[in-house]
Structure 1
Amino acid sequence: MSMQFQSKLLTSFKTATWVTVAALIGLTGCGGTMPTLGGSSGNTVTGAAGGETSSGANSQLENCDETLGTLAVVEDQSAPWWYTYRRRYPTLGTTVPVLRMMIQQSNCFVVVERGRAMNNMMQERALMQSGEMRQGSNFGKGQMVAADYTMNPSIQFSEKGTGGLGATVGGLLGNYRLGRLAGGVKSNEAATTLLLIDNRSGVQVSSSVGSAQNFDFNLWGGLFGGGKWGSVKGFTDTPEGKVVTAAFADSYNQMVKALRNYKAQTVKGGLGKGGRLKVSE
């Protein structure tokens, strides 16, 4: 291979890489790329729900023709993951509202209230019993709907700004500025788990793990370094909440797919009656 041919080949490779990096930046925009659900393109969770109908829901969200039962979402805020989550992302708040909307949009479960709004429900009943409400208000016993299942969410992993490309690109091409530019491309990642518990028996019916990822970029800071240009805030992160929400959407989709083919686990002799792994007396 001649030196001239090698030079042309290297030049072509560098040009193609510049175009690729520029295209990546053009696609991401100022806010970075949208999160991807389990490796598929997605725009996390959007829209609204009313009864069994939804509006503006993500087309990738799994849907059920018939509901499987009533469900309450309970977030264990005493678990270790919750403290880590709140310390890293103090502005994000609870995961329950977006999960509840996602579940209602899917029409797979009817969501019942078991959170703080229960206090208001009980307050209305107390006012009725005290005689303060008008006649015909129709608050009384035997009206609340039981929760057949409880869904318990948790976040296993959520990291911001990992996976820079600068060292790889700069090393391959021997180009310091291109390496700095590519080094501004960072990934945000999250992994989540959902557990579904049968409230009458306490048996775990289903469990699922989901993940999501997006990319942010820093154009001017990565290309020009410090000084005047380094002070330009070109790095605008996509909110971490979008990645976490997309990971939960992926978890929920995996769970719905598994429940479509659900077959109850059985133990010979019956559940909770000693099991089959006997021990000596």
Structure 2
Amino acid sequence: MRTIAYAVAAAVILAGSPAFAKKKTPEENLEIPMCPQVLGTVAIKDSQNEWWRQYNLGNPAAVIKLIVMKSGCFQLVDRGQGMQMMREERDLMGEDELQRGSDIGKGQMVAADYFVLPDLVTQDSNSGGSAIGAGIGGAIGGGWGAALGGIKTKKLEAQALLTLTNARTGVQELIAEGTYKKTDVSFGFGGGGWGGFGLALAAAGGGYADTDIGKVITLAYVKAYRNMVTQMGGLSGNARMAAPLPAQRLLERTALLSEPRDDAAPVRGLREGMVLHPTGNKSGLFWEVEEPNGDRGWVPSELLELAK
């Protein structure tokens, strides 16, 4: 009987050992998409329902920022603490506290083409699991029993969402989903495979690099991000082109011209202060615009300023 018990114990341990398991660990599937060209600028917004607190995790915005920076798909603009620090620098500049030539002023900030809102739909953090080897371990005793008693069943699952909103139009361009599930029998979550991303994730803190549920949620976000970038192949790839051009205000009374030249026939008269909508067509110093009644024509660009 003792020989049979040892044989059973050895079989269970070898089946659960990462060295003999055929399953891939979640870390091996971590592939952040790399883009050959930048799709635009993006700002990461905080989730409304602070779900991460119940798992003792940090704000997932830090995880998304790391993924974005690693991928090279977007330029990341700071709308958080960095933004506040910028405002403080501008205040110092306005108070003449900074050295001459510091070159801090209006008109230097880069606009966000998109906003990304991370969220989580479902999650299962059965981190304790159930000790399937406790009974066998108690019967066998010794070193075998100690090893078997440490085997846990764990089921971790996360469904992450990334909502992409066009910053100019306010239109939600897409909602990308990423689901990651881990169900296995092992001594731990597995090791390796995170590389430099894992080190950066650990440095950012929040528990995403050193907890099972944190790793699973991270991988779910990686999948969601990959799906988002893939879906953006159907977009123009440039929000400045996809969104309507900003409206312009007419600085002085003039005529809406039928052609882009000074002596062209007038379509109608335009009054000072009218809001005109550029079509995107330009010819020399003239812009084609559409006035509120729907008439199209040309006006000198020097008579236009951004409507606020």
Q: Under TM normalisation by the shorter chain, which class is it?
A: 0.5 to 0.7
Contact 1:187 1:216 in 2 (8 A): no
* Structure 2 Cα separation of the partners of residues 88 and 155 of structure 1: 12
Larger RCO (CA under 8 A, 6+ residues apart): 1
Residues 2-41 of structure 1 mapped to structure 2, 5 A cutoff: 19=11, 21-27=13-19, 34-35=25-26, 41=28
The reply to whether residue 202 of structure 1 matches residue 170 of structure 2 is yes
CA, structure 1 residues 238+93, in 2 after alignment: closer, same or farther (shift >3 Å)? closer
CA, structure 1 residues 18+262, in 2 after alignment: closer, same or farther (shift >3 Å)? farther
Which residue, 139, 145, 153 being the options, matches 2:104? 139
- The residue that corresponds to 1:87 in the other structure is 54
The reply to whether residue 96 of structure 1 matches residue 52 of structure 2 is no
* Structure 2 Cα separation of the partners of residues 28 and 71 of structure 1: 43
- The residue that corresponds to 2:118 in the other structure is 153
Name the TM-score, length of structure 2 as normaliser.
0.55
Shift of residue 18 of structure 1? 5.6
* Structure 1 Cα separation of the partners of residues 13 and 180 of structure 2: 22
The reply to whether residue 212 of structure 1 matches residue 186 of structure 2 is no
CA, structure 1 residues 28+216, in 2 after alignment: closer, same or farther (shift >3 Å)? farther
Contact 1:163 1:187 in 2 (8 A): no
Alpha-carbon displacement from aligned partner over 1:1-35 (angstroms, at most 9, x marks no partner): xxxxxxxxxx9xxx799636524234499xxx843
- SS of 1:189's partner is strand
The reply to whether residue 184 of structure 1 matches residue 156 of structure 2 is no
Shift of residue 143 of structure 1? 0.2
Length, aligned pairs only: 203
Unaligned runs of 5+ in 2: 189-209, 243-308
Residues 29-68 of structure 1 mapped to structure 2, 5 A cutoff: 34-35=25-26, 41-42=28-29, 44=30, 60-68=31-39
Structure 1 vs Structure 2: percent identity of aligned residues?
30
- Counterpart AA for 1:68: L
Extract structure 1 runs of 4+ deviating beyond 6 A.
none
CA RMSD of aligned residues (A): 3.8
Structure having the larger proportion of residues in strand: 2
- Counterpart AA for 1:252: Y
- The residue that corresponds to 1:124 in the other structure is 89
CA, structure 1 residues 22+164, in 2 after alignment: closer, same or farther (shift >3 Å)? farther
* Structure 2 Cα separation of the partners of residues 129 and 216 of structure 1: 62
Contact 2:176 2:228 in 1 (8 A): yes
Unaligned runs of 5+ in 1: 1-10, 45-59, 171-175, 220-236, 266-281
Structure of higher CA gyration radius: 2
The reply to whether residue 244 of structure 1 matches residue 217 of structure 2 is yes
* Structure 2 Cα separation of the partners of residues 103 and 115 of structure 1: 16
- The residue that corresponds to 1:72 in the other structure is 43
CA, structure 1 residues 99+130, in 2 after alignment: closer, same or farther (shift >3 Å)? same
CA, structure 1 residues 189+18, in 2 after alignment: closer, same or farther (shift >3 Å)? farther
* Structure 1 Cα separation of the partners of residues 77 and 40 of structure 2: 10
* Structure 2 Cα separation of the partners of residues 22 and 185 of structure 1: 15
- SS of 2:220's partner is helix
Contact 1:198 1:204 in 2 (8 A): yes
Shift of residue 166 of structure 1? 7.1
- Counterpart AA for 1:107: G
The reply to whether residue 261 of structure 1 matches residue 234 of structure 2 is yes
- The residue that corresponds to 1:274 in the other structure is none
Alpha-carbon displacement from aligned partner over 1:190-220 (angstroms, at most 9, x marks no partner): 111001000111111121111223457469x
Alpha-carbon displacement from aligned partner over 1:217-269 (angstroms, at most 9, x marks no partner): 469xxxxxxxxxxxxxxxxx84432221111111101111111233799xxxx
